[in-house]
Amino acid sequence: MDNIHARLLALGLKVPQILLPRQPVDLSAWAVIACDQFTQDRPYWERVRQIVGDKPSTLNMIYPEAYLEAGPPAEREGAVHRAMTSYLEGDVFAPPFTGCMYVERDTPCRRRRRGLVIAADLDRYDWGLRSRTLIRATEGTVPERLPPRMDIRRDAPLECPHILLLINDRQNTLLPGLAGLLGSAEPAYRANLMMNSGSVSGWALDREEHWAFIAGQLEAVSAPFLYAAGDGNHSLAAAKGVWEEYKAAHRGKPGLADNPRRFALVEIENLYDPAVSFEPIHRIVFNTGIDALLKALAPLPGFAVSSLSGAPDGGLLRRMVEDRDAPGTRLGLVSGSRRFLVETSAPGLATAALQPLLDDFTRGAGPSIDYIHGTEDLLRLAGADREGPSSAVGILLPPLRKEGLFETVARSGPLPRKSFSMGESTEKRFYLECRRLR
C-alpha cells in the first residue's frame, strides 16, 4: 500500500479523501457550473439561483465571476466560508472515503467524456513561463486575477474543483482501462445537470488495484511533462499561491508535508479522448467602436479587412473564420449589424499576435475586455443592441488544433492567456466532489 502511495506521489498525485453529498440531497441542484463561466450573463446565474432555491448547492460555496464587481470582497468570502462550514457540520455530506473518482460526462455536444478525480501535488506545479515542473500551465497566468481566488481559498474549510488537467495519453489507455476495471459496478452518483448541460456519473476507485493501475498507466505515458492545466489555470495558480503562503508561515513545523493544502482536487482528462474538444475563447471589447478597433488591429502582419455587413446573420462570418483550409489566420469582428472579416499572415496561434494589440488598446481608462466561451454568446453580446459609436465589439477567433499541445508548451512555454477552451461553455466542469482543506 505504501509503495502505491509513493509511486503516485512521484507522479505528482495523492489519493484524497472525497466528500459526496448524502442522499436525499438533490444532485441536480447541488452541481453547478464553474464560477468563471457566463461572466457577462448574470441572468444565467439568476436562473441557477432560482433552480437551487434553498436546497444544498455548491452555488453557495463559490462566487460566480459575473458578480465580482458587486459587494465588498469580505462579505463574499464570509458567505462562502459560512456555507461550507454549515454543510460540513450539518447533514449534507456522507462520510468521506479514501479514493478517487472515475467520471463520465455526457454533454450537449459530445458523449462519454471520461475523467479521473484525484488530488494533484502543488509542489510539482509552477505556472511560470520557464516552468520545468511535472504540472504546467497551458496559458499565460495574469497575477492580478489571483487575489480574489486566493482570498476565497485561504480560509476555506473545503474545496470543490473545476480544474481540468490534461495528459498526453496517445493510446488512450488510462481512462477506458479504469472503466474496464469497474465493469458493471453501480456508480456512486448519477445526475442530470441543470440548464441543459447533459449528465454526469461517477464511480468510486477505492481499492489498491485501482490505484496501482493508475500509477502504472501514468508511468508509461511518454510526454515532455505529465500534466497540462487545460481549464481552471487561475484557480490552480491561486491554490499554489495559498500553499506557498502557508508553507512560509509554518516552515519546520511537523505534518507540513502531509497538509491537505499542499494538494488540489482536480479532474484528469486525456488530450486524445475523442470527446475532448478544443474551442476558441472569443474576445469582446466594451466602450469602443468597430472602426477604432480595426485601426488598433492594423499592425497585424498582412492585415486585410473586408466587410460582410450585408450578410443576413453571423453564419457566413463564422464559417469563414472557422475555415481550416484558408491561408493565414482569420478573425471576425461584430458590432451590431456590422461585420468584418480580418485576415492576417501572422504565424502560429491567432492569440499570439492579437493579444498584445488588445492589451495595448485596453490599457488604462476607456475600453475594457472580457473573454467569451461560445460563438452564440459572443454574437448575442455584440448584437444589434450594442450598435453605436461607443458600444462593444466582439472578436470571433478561429478553432485551435489540440495535437502537439504538450510539445508546444514544452518548447515555448504557456500559450497566450485565454487561447482555448475545453469544449463549449455548457460543457465546462460542474462542481460536485469535495475535499477538506483543514
DSSP-assigned letters across all residues of 45-64? HHHHHHHHTTS--GGGGS--
In a domain, 50, yes or no: yes
Determine the residue type at 241.
Answer: G
Q: How far apart are CA 403 and CA 56, in angstroms?
A: 40
Report the alpha-carbon distance of residue 262 to residue 89 in Å, rounded.
24
Does residue 81 form part of some domain? yes
Which pTM does this prediction carry? 0.87
Distance CA 264, CA 121 (A): 7
Total count of domains within the chain: 2
One domain for residues 221 and 99: yes
pLDDT per 10-residue tile (average), the chain, 438 residues = 88 98 96 92 95 97 85 79 96 97 96 97 91 90 86 94 95 96 95 97 97 96 90 93 96 92 98 91 92 95 89 77 85 91 87 91 89 85 58 89 85 84 89 97
Residue 160 located in a structural domain = yes
Instruction: Provide the pLDDT for residue 258.
Output: 93
Q: Are residues 271 and 354 in the same domain?
A: no
Q: Would 115 be classed as within a structural domain?
A: yes
Please tell me whether residues 41 and 172 are part of one structural domain. yes
Distance (Å, rounded) from C-alpha 124 to C-alpha 120?
8
pLDDT at 388: 46
Q: Specify the pLDDT at position 110.
A: 93
Rg from Cα positions in the chain: 22
Q: Are 334 and 244 within one domain?
A: no
Which pLDDT belongs to residue 202?
98
Confirm whether 195 is domain-assigned.
Answer: yes
Whether 101 and 246 map to the same domain: the answer is yes
Angle between helices 290-297 and 350-361 (to 10 degrees): 120
Residue 70 lies in a domain: yes
Q: What is the pLDDT of residue 425?
A: 84
pLDDT of 139: 86
* Cis amide bond preceding 280, omega within 30: no
In this structure, the answer to whether residues 7 and 80 fall within a common structural domain is yes
Assess if residue 112 is contained within a domain. yes
Note whether 267 and 316 are same-domain residues.
no
Q: What is the largest CA-CA distance in the chain?
A: 69
* 75 shares a domain with 182: yes
Co-location of 425 and 381 in the same domain: no
Give the pLDDT score at 141. Answer: 83
Same domain, 118 and 45: yes
Domain residue limits at 372: 281-399
SS3 at position 27: helix
Whether 141 contacts 419, CB under 8 Å: no
How far is 165 from 137, CA to CA, in rounded Å?
Answer: 9
What's the pLDDT at 75?
79
| Residue showing cell 485576415 | 343
**Same domain? 218 vs 291:** no
Q: How far apart are CA 387 and CA 290, in angstroms?
A: 9
Q: Could you give the CA distance from residue 339 to residue 317 in angstroms, rounded to a whole number?
A: 7
Nearest to 142 by CA among 241, 26, 71, 218: 241
- Same domain for 393 and 428? no
Question: Per the domain annotation, does 252 fall within a domain?
Answer: yes
